[in-house]
Every structure is written in structure tokens, then in C-alpha cells.
């Protein structure tokens, strides 16, 4: 589905060059649940940004279903994101003036084949909260709305940046279960960036990063249910061996 070949990303500030990504080769298949693990500064977010077209690569190639993305203009990239990508971030960033239903509608409005909002509300368990404003919801509920907003336009792939970063264990597992259900029921490709090693137990593929490189790719033969993962298991990546 997504293929990265020889991708590098270098930031330059005056005379200082920072190599955020170094020679990344990676393939994410259709319908996969992928977890990218790594400590701060390892390049996880840069990797997510270049895969999703939020940032440009310095060198290398990225293809989506065979289509080259690196040459697209900004407006073409915006169109591509609108068509195929969904995002869930650590901060929910819901529009405070809109209700739960309307926030999900914001996501649905730009999709060409959007999902039914009522169905989504039922899925995230917030049917009764549909007319509430974000400030009237808990963090977990807000993140679920954020997931629904991202999913509403019916994207092929959903990128999640620390989706449970601000949530307690119970709410986190609820959100993760939602993501797992999306992956299993709707066959959505999910890419999760996290520090939490426990989340990797529910994925198909685990990509470990350090210092801008992929140091290990693990394929899980079996995936744990979201509710069964070991919570709070910190990553210990610096000691991981290189591939």
C-alpha cells in the first residue's frame, strides 16, 4: 500500500544539519495495524509526516498504491490527504463551537464517500452525547470524537500520533479498541506512533526507530485484544539491536 525507498529527511538551520530520517526503506500493507516505536527524537513523527505528505522528503521515494507522492504539489498533496488519509493526534483539537455531531461532520464533509455519522456515533458509544460540546466531554470521549472525525471521511489509512498520550488506562484501552475494531471490521490500515510498548502487542507489525533509522521490524504472529495488552510498558529501545 505504502512503500518508502531510500527516504531521508535533513533539516538545515544555518550551518547545522540534522538528519531526521536516514535511508528508510519500509512497506506498509493494506489493512495492516502498524506500530512505530521509538524514543523522543528517533524520527517517528518525521516518518509519519513524510508518509502522510505533511512534510517533504529530502531524497528517496514514497508511493501509495503505486502512485508516486514525492513529486506532488502542495494542492495535490492536500487533495491526496483529503481522499485517503485520516489523522488522530495526542491533542484532540476539536472545534469548541461545534457539537460532537458537528465535529464529526467537519471530517465527513470533505470526504467523497463519507461514513454515516449516526453509525459512527454508535460505534464510539457517544450517541447520547451527540449534542454536547467538547468542553462537556471527558478526555477519553473527546479522543473518541477525534477518532470518529478522522474516520468519517472514510480514509484508507489512519495515522495516529500518541493517540492515548493524554488518557488514563481505561480510556486509552477504549480508544485502542476502537482503532482495533476499525482495523478488523472496516479493514482500515492503522499506523500508530507511540512510546508505549504495550500497544505493539496488538499490532501486526512493529517498527522500532532510533536516531532517524529503522533499527528493527517485528511481525507479530498473533495480536492481543486492546483490552488485554499490558499497559504502561515503557519502551526500551536504546538497547535494541540494529537490523
Partner 1 sequence: MLQKNVMRDSRKKWMQLAAIGIIIILSSLTYSMMFYGISGIEEPTESYLEDYNQEDFSVEMLNTVTEQEAQDPEIANVLSEGSFSLSDIKKTDTELFMRLMDNRIKAFEQQIPETNLELRQYKVAYFDWNGNSHTALIAKDAEQINRSFIEQGRKPSNISELALNKIYAEKNNIEIGNSFVLGGEEYTVTGFVLFPDYTLPVFDDSFNFDAALKPLVLLSDSAYEQLNAQERFRLAGSTLDGSAIDTAFDKEQLPFINQILATENTTRSGAIYRKLDEGKTMSLGLSIFIAAIAVIIVSIMIFNLLHAERSQIGILKALGYTGRKSLFLTSSQYPGSLSSCWLSAICWAGLLLNR
Residues that bind partner 1 (CB under 8 A): 52, 54, 75, 78-79, 81-83, 85-87, 89, 91, 93, 95, 97-98, 102, 105-107, 109-110, 149-150, 153
Residues 6+ apart with CB under 8 A from 31: 183, 187, 188, 189
* Dist. CA 12–CA 149, nearest whole Å: 35
**Strand, helix or coil for residue 158:** strand
Q: How far is the CB of 209 from partner 1 (least distance, A)?
A: 21
Contact 153, 80 (CB under 8 A): no
Hey, what's the torsion of the CAs at 192, 169, 94, 152, to 10 degrees? 50
According to DSSP, the residues that pair with 234 across neighbouring strands are: 196
Nearer to partner 1, 12 or 75 (CB): 75
DSSP E strands, the chain? 2-13, 16-28, 33-37, 59-64, 67-68, 85-88, 157-161, 189-194, 205-210, 213-219
- In whole angstroms, the minimum distance from the beta carbon of 238 to partner 1 comes to 30
d(CA 141, CA 19): 37
Closest to partner 1 by CB, 89 or 186: 89
Are the beta carbons of 82 and 155 closer than 8 angstroms?
no
Minimum CB separation of residue 160 from partner 1 in Å reads 12
CB of 9 to partner 1, least distance (A): 18
- Please say which residue, 88 or 215, places its beta carbon nearer to partner 1: 88
Residue whose CB is less far from partner 1, 58 or 83: 83
Q: Which is nearer to partner 1, 107 or 198 (CB)?
A: 107
Shortest distance, position 80 Cβ to partner 1, whole Å: 8
Select 56 or 233, whichever has its Cβ closest to partner 1: 56
CB of 220 to partner 1, least distance (A): 28
Cβ atoms of 32 and 26 within 8 Å: the answer is no
Burial of 190 (0-12, 13-18, 19+ CB in 10 A): buried
Amino acid at each position: 500500500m505504502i512503500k518508502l525507498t531510500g527516504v531521508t529527511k535533513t533539516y538545515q538551520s544555518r550551518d547545522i544539519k540534522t538528519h531526521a530520517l536516514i535511508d528508510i526503506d519500509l512497506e506498509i500493507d493494506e489493512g495492516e495495524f502498524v506500530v512505530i516505536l521509538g524514543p523522543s527524537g528517533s524520527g517517528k513523527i518525521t516518518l509519519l509526516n513524510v508518509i502522510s505528505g505533511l512534510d517533504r522528503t529530502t531524497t528517496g521515494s514514497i508511493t501509495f498504491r503505486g502512485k508516486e507522492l514525492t513529486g506532488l504539489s502542495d494542492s495535490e498533496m492536500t487533495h491526496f490527504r483529503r481522499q485517503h488519509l485520516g489523522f488522530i493526534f495526542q491533542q484532540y483539537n476539536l472545534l469548541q463551537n461545534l457539537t460532537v455531531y458537528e465535529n464529526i461532520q467537519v471530517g465527513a464533509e470533505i470526504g467523497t464517500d463519507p461514513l454515516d455519522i449516526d453509525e459512527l456515533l454508535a460505534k464510539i458509544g457517544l450517541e447520547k452525547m451527540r449534542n454536547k460540546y467538547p468542553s462537556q466531554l471527558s478526555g477519553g470521549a473527546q479522543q473518541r470524537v477525534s477518532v470518529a472525525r478522522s474516520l468519517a471521511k472514510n480514509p484508507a489509512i489512519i495515522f495516529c500520533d500518541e493517540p492515548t498520550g493524554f488518557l488514563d488506562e481505561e480510556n486509552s484501552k477504549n480508544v485502542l479498541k476502537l482503532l482495533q475494531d476499525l482495523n478488523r471490521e472496516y479493514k482500515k490500515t492503522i499506523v500508530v506512533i507511540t512510546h508505549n510498548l504495550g500497544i505493539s502487542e496488538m499490532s501486526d507489525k512493529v517498527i522500532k526507530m532510533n536516531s532517524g533509522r529503522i533499527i528493527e521490524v517485528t511481525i507479530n504472529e498473533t495480536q492481543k485484544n486492546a483490552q488485554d495488552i499490558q499497559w504502561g510498558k515503557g519502551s526500551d529501545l536504546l538497547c535494541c539491536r540494529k537490523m
